[in-house]
Amino acid sequence: MTPGTRTFVSGGNTLIGRALIDLLLEEGRAELFGVGRDEPDVTDSRATEKFFEYARPQVVFHCAGLSGGIGLNRAKPVELMRDNLLGTLSVLGAAKTFGARKLVYLASSCAYPKLAAQPMRVEALGTGAMEPTSEAYSTAKFAGWKLCAAYRREFGTNFVTAFPANGFGPHDDFTADGGHVIPALMRRAHDAKERGDAELVVWGTGAPRREFVYARDLARACAFVAEHYDGDAPINLGGGTDLSIADVAREVASVVGFRGRLRFDATKPDGAPLKALDSLPLLELGWQPSYGFRAALEETYAWFLRANAARAVETGRELATR
């Protein structure tokens, strides 16, 4: 990708989409279209076609699609599935119609079978039942992969599918009930510290394990795949840190500075027991993660504090003008 490569990143408001836009802007490696308010509502196929007709992106990263943690997946399966299916149909269709030379579709590690052998290899996809708590969303992400494969087969389009590990970082959903484990725990540990609470509740048993990759590393991996991978097979974006949820909770509490005790609430769901990815194909292509887990957590919390302060000022300003 060069400074003149016409590029569109859908989902500029998503964790990875935003990190990817920031990366491409910082490195000046693309001529970006559809950033911020210019991004079309990709669940509206007509608006998406109109945008592609004007922007004519040569490279497309399809990161758009509502996502959330185990809480949101249990509460809003229809909205999650519908939003992801509509967006993927629109963007892949428009990318084919207007001749994008490369499209990278971001699926999700939850599309793997719940009990897949670890670390999960792409050959395991579709060989067993998915984790029930996120099955609607996971099926939509799985369908996106299959649609990419169908476009490749029928039209020879260079659409590749990437399965990222659990991402975290700035611009994530930090709501206590809707966010993924790291942002949700960070928000709750911060509030507990501010209130002087004696304990912080962690959902589930703490026993499940997850592989975490910092959003800036996932963005770098996406850009790397756009330039170096054209294969039929999907590719895992991992190489991150494999931790138990209990260890994640301890790390988050330590970074936030919450000194109380952790209480594990086993009435909340654990979700998939393990979710580590086999990312050897990506690593063998020459990509390497560049952030350590602790440093990435600290950078995320520093961003959270700035965003929180800005929001407090904004709210304060609103209150003052009432």
Report the interface residues with ligand GFB, using CB under 6 A. 67, 69-71, 73, 108-110, 134, 137, 166, 179-181, 184-185, 202-204, 208, 210, 245, 268-272, 275
Provide the 3-class DSSP secondary structure of residue 50. helix
Q: Give the whole-angstrom CA distance, residue 146 versus residue 158.
A: 14
- Cβ distance to ligand GFB smaller for residue 25 or 198: 198
> Residue 144 CB, nearest distance to ligand GFB (Å)?
12
- Tally the residues of the chain: 322
> Residue 254 CB, nearest distance to ligand GFB (Å)?
16
- Cβ distance to ligand GFB smaller for residue 47 or 201: 201
CB neighbour burial string for 130-156, b if at least 16 within 10 angstroms, e if fewer: bbebbbbbbbbbbbbbebbbebbeeee
Catalytic residue list contains 137: yes
Residue identified by tokens 């497309």 is: 60
Q: Give the whole-angstrom CA distance, residue 316 versus residue 173.
A: 22
Q: Give the whole-angstrom CA distance, residue 236 versus residue 139.
A: 17
- Cβ distance to ligand GFB smaller for residue 108 or 241: 108
Q: Give the whole-angstrom CA distance, residue 150 versus residue 162.
A: 15
> Residue 172 CB, nearest distance to ligand GFB (Å)?
10
- Cβ distance to ligand GFB smaller for residue 30 or 162: 162
- Residue type for position 316: G
∠ CA 169-303-2, nearest 5°, is 60
Q: Give the whole-angstrom CA distance, residue 236 versus residue 173.
A: 23
> Residue 24 CB, nearest distance to ligand GFB (Å)?
23
CB-nearest residue to ligand GFB: 69
- Cβ distance to ligand GFB smaller for residue 51 or 304: 304
Q: Give the whole-angstrom CA distance, residue 129 versus residue 112.
A: 8
Residue identified by tokens 């994640």 is: 248
What are the phi and psi torsion angles at 255 (to 5°)? Answer: -65, -40
**Of 112, 137, 214, 229, which residue is the catalytic one?**
137
Instruction: Count the helices and strands in the chain (H runs, E runs).
Output: 10, 12
> Residue 155 CB, nearest distance to ligand GFB (Å)?
28
Residue identified by tokens 């039209």 is: 155
Q: Which helix (H) or strand (E) holds 213?
A: strand 209-214
Chain-centroid distance of CA 7 in Å reads: 19
Residues noted as catalytic: 137
